[in-house]
Amino acid sequence: MGNVLISRRFDFSSSHRYYRDEWSTEENTRVFGLCALPSGHGHNYTLEVAVSGAADSDTGMVINLVDLQAAVEVVLEQFDHKHLNLDTHYFTDCIPTAENLAAVLWGLIAEELVGAKLHRLRLYETDDLFVEYFGEIS
């Protein structure tokens, strides 16, 4: 049995703001534009979680989808309907861009996925903008 990639899609909503305290408001606006506005703004994110491996000879599955769903949902609960800067502790030192959010989600989901190999996260911030993350480069 060869390697199979299986993906599942999840939706969540979060708000965020791009702003560096050590920069002036003018510099923040120059770099981040409207994303630097004080109250932030929200997105309906879509997260595709891809797991790779061989299908088990007994079950025919790379991963039990019930387990995958449970692992991802327990992570996304921390972010859904939250302000990423204010309601989570993951973005005190980094800007909650899609790039950084994908990296944070990778660490948390990989920890939950016991016995399965996380291959890729694809995080859509809008319909036409997404990032892909493949874990830390070793």
Catalytic residues: 35, 81, 125
Distance of CA 132 to the CA centre of its chain: 9
- Measured CA to CA, the distance from residue 87 to residue 102 in angstroms comes to 17
Query: Which residues are CB-contacts of 89 (< 8 A; sequence separation ≥ 6)?
Result: none
Reported for 123-128, long-range contacts at CB under 8 A and 24+ positions apart, including other chains, are 123/45, 123/46, 123/47, 123/48, 123/98, 124/45, 124/46, 124/47, 124/48, 125/43, 125/45, 125/98, 126/43
- Measured CA to CA, the distance from residue 129 to residue 135 in angstroms comes to 19
